[in-house]
A and B are shown apart, each in its own frame.
Chain A
Amino acid sequence: MTAIAENKPAYDGQALDLTGKSGARAFKNTLATVLIVLAFVIAMIPLLWILGTVISKGYHLLLSADWWSQSQRGITVRREGGGAYHAIMGTLIMSLITALIAVPIAVLGAVYLVEYGKGTRAARVVSFMIDILTGVPSIVAALFIYAVWITIFGFNRVGFAVSLSLVLLMLPVVLRSTEEMLKLVPDELREASYALGVPKWKTIMKVVVPTAFGGIVTGVMLGLARVMGETAPLLILVGYSKNINLNPFNGFMGALPTMINQDRTELALQPAADRVWAAALTLILLVLVLNVLARLVARFSAIKSK
């Protein structure tokens, strides 16, 4: 008792020095701030550069109605005119088919991994395979479908084959993002549903998936954005057609990446160069529009809190 009392410093009422930063800490703070801002600027330079170049060189063709309604039929690299309708439709059709096949498989697969397979050997194997699939280059996916679709089954090169190979590329992206979103749904909500006597499958359909819906849609859009720009599967599996072909089961099809590739070889010629930039801008806009749509869908179905 007395020992403690003796050691106790006297109360002196003096002001403490709270001015803070020592010189070294202030320097580190400044250094880190500069590095972070620099990293941000460096990351933004290529983005703005690309956007600026593509917009400034490509916008004027997009202003004409022909661009949105005509094909390149009969238009040579030396001639102006025509449009990208065939390529826009080709890209949309093939991407849509891809999404129709890939999204259900990906979402159901993610539901399996999160809700049913947790910790099982099967889930670990599936998860590992998805990781591998994530790293498969698009040309490998394209050649795989080529081997199956054309070499083994003897079918022709058509848009549907492209969709099949794009499924391989989209599947892991959507599955992984959906998985993460489902993991974010708190177990308390599942338990609340079980406690009402709701079976597991219905809990997943009516509680878990709707809660994660916004995130799932975002994942689908990321996947779509990725596959819309793929070029290798198009070159290998459907070729390029300057004509309008809306049938994914018959004949060559145009698409925006292959349209860019077509005119790319003659960049010295102004009409071809213009079309390359315009097609690139169109592809960027397409992805942008899909993203905005997805945001709207997600907003109207999202978690309500006020």
Chain B
Amino acid sequence: MAKRIEVSGLNVYYGDFKAVEDVSMTVEPRSVTAFIGPSGCGKSTFLRTLNRMHEVIPGARVEGKVMLDQQDLYASGVDPVAVRRVVGMVFQRPNPFPTMSIFDNVASGLKLNGVKDRKKLTEVVERSLHGANLWNEVKDRLDKPGAGLSGGQQQRLCIARAIAVEPEVILMDEPCSALDPISTLAIEDLIEKLKDQFTVVIVTHNMQQAARVSDQTAFFNLAATGKPGRLIEMAPTKQIFSNPAEKATEDYITGRFG
């Protein structure tokens, strides 16, 4: 598993408002790519176009191409539901299903898509919880509600839920911004492990986090409020943080902006 994402000439609109302009980039398989940039620069919006999740908001649309290996995600006839089955997502705030147990939360992707085989579900749940470094903490209370876990555990539960459906790509939208440093560390360790199997894209406001976990870093910025966000620079993370090509990137990562 794991696929390469190639984006070319992507514009994202909310109604008439152009939120992201002319983004082209390649996200390598089995690696972690981090998006950094100031609030409102369109990095989350752009992330959500990679699994067509932005379409949930009425009036949102894109121009351009997003290729998942040979397949254009925006070709006519492509079902966004099918896209999301191969491109999973973890959100900013942990959002386990409140009506479901820990087991059912992890199994939900399979269950809701019609898998009933109890043995298979048990297998997948155990594997996914191991994969999300959560198994040891919850193995004795799988039938307890997922909402009863701590914030960091809930976020790992959400990651387990995302990997249970065996996607090719996992998108993470500021997955640690609501967590304490210890839980953040647990998630970062997990991201390191996930890239053996998946293509991981992570949006973060924490530049140390980008430097710690990612192989490639993309810096987004916007010229002014109300202007669309653009991709300023994308390069191997080491290079971005030591020797960025663009002045804007250097100003941002060293804290000299505005």
Q: B-contacting residues of A (Cβ < 8 Å)?
A: 118-119, 186-199, 202-203, 206-207, 210-211, 213, 301, 303-306
Cβ-defined contact, A197 with B85, below 8 A: yes
Query: Min CB distance, B173 to chain A, in Å?
Result: 10
Q: Which 10 A-B pairs have the closest CB atoms?
A: A197-B85, A304-B145, A196-B109, A195-B89, A188-B95, A303-B98, A197-B84, A198-B112, A210-B99, A192-B95
Asked if B241 CB lies within 8 Å of chain A CBs, one says no
Scan B137-160; emit 1 where CB is below 8 A from any A CB, else 0: 000000011011000000000100
Asked if B182 CB lies within 8 Å of chain A CBs, one says no
Residues of chain B lying within 8 A (CB to CB) of residue A187: 56
Residues of chain B lying within 8 A (CB to CB) of residue A194: 53, 56, 81, 84
Please pick, from A190, A202, A211, A305, the residue contacting B112 in the complex, using a CB distance under 8 A: A202
Please pick, from B51, B98, B101, B113, the residue contacting A195 in the complex, using a CB distance under 8 A: B51
Cβ-defined contact, A304 with B85, below 8 A: no
Cβ-defined contact, B113 with A303, below 8 A: no
Q: How far is the CA of A206 from the CA of B108 in the complex (A)?
A: 10
Max count, chain B CB within 10 A of own CB: residue among A190, A198, A301? A198
Asked if B61 CB lies within 8 Å of chain A CBs, one says no
Cβ-defined contact, B81 with A197, below 8 A: yes
User: Chain A: which residue is nearest B93 at the CB level?
Assistant: A188
Q: How far is the CA of A281 from the CA of B93 in the complex (A)?
A: 50
Residues of chain B lying within 8 A (CB to CB) of residue A207: 97, 99, 112
Asked if B125 CB lies within 8 Å of chain A CBs, one says no
Contact residues, B81-103 vs A (CB, 8 A): 81-86, 88-89, 91, 93, 95-99, 101
Q: How far is the CA of A196 from the CA of B88 in the complex (A)?
A: 6
Cβ-defined contact, B56 with A211, below 8 A: no
Cβ-defined contact, B97 with A189, below 8 A: yes
Residues of chain A lying within 8 A (CB to CB) of residue B43: none
Please pick, from A199, A206, A211, the residue contacting B98 in the complex, using a CB distance under 8 A: A211
Cβ-defined contact, B56 with A190, below 8 A: yes
Query: Min CB distance, A183 to chain B, in Å?
Result: 16
Cβ-defined contact, B97 with A118, below 8 A: no
Q: How far is the CA of A98 from the CA of B153 in the complex (A)?
A: 46
Cβ-defined contact, B53 with A195, below 8 A: yes
A188-B91, A188-B93 known; A196 and B58 CB under 8 Å?
no
Please pick, from B51, B83, B91, the residue contacting A192 in the complex, using a CB distance under 8 A: B91
Provide a sorted-by-A list of 13 A–B residue pairs whose CB atoms are within 8 angstroms.
A191-B89, A191-B91, A195-B162, A196-B84, A196-B88, A197-B85, A198-B113, A202-B112, A202-B113, A207-B97, A207-B112, A211-B97, A305-B98
Contacts A192-B97, A206-B112, A305-B147 aside, 19 further interface pairs with beta carbons under 8 A come to A189-B98, A191-B91, A192-B96, A194-B56, A195-B89, A195-B162, A196-B84, A196-B109, A196-B162, A196-B165, A197-B83, A197-B85, A197-B113, A202-B112, A301-B99, A304-B98, A304-B101, A305-B148, A306-B145
Q: How far is the CA of A206 from the CA of B158 in the complex (A)?
A: 17
Q: How far is the CA of A211 from the CA of B97 in the complex (A)?
A: 8
Please pick, from A190, A191, A198, A206, the residue contacting B81 in the complex, using a CB distance under 8 A: A198
Q: How far is the CA of A305 from the CA of B83 in the complex (A)?
A: 32
Query: Min CB distance, B73 to chain A, in Å?
Result: 13
A194-B84, A195-B162 known; A303 and B58 CB under 8 Å?
no
Asked if B161 CB lies within 8 Å of chain A CBs, one says yes
Cβ-defined contact, B82 with A197, below 8 A: yes
Residues of chain B lying within 8 A (CB to CB) of residue A303: 98-99, 145, 147
Contact residues, B146-204 vs A (CB, 8 A): 147-148, 158, 161-162, 165
Q: How far is the CA of A140 from the CA of B86 in the complex (A)?
A: 55
Query: Min CB distance, B21 to chain A, in Å?
Result: 25
Cβ-defined contact, B58 with A118, below 8 A: yes
Query: Min CB distance, B255 to chain A, in Å?
Result: 26
Q: How far is the CA of A91 from the CA of B237 in the complex (A)?
A: 73
Residues of chain A lying within 8 A (CB to CB) of residue B108: 193, 196, 198
Q: How far is the CA of A82 from the CA of B95 in the complex (A)?
A: 58
Cβ-defined contact, A191 with B53, below 8 A: yes
Q: How far is the CA of A198 from the CA of B110 in the complex (A)?
A: 9
Cβ-defined contact, B56 with A196, below 8 A: no
Residues of chain B lying within 8 A (CB to CB) of residue A186: 95
Q: How far is the CA of A207 from the CA of B112 in the complex (A)?
A: 9
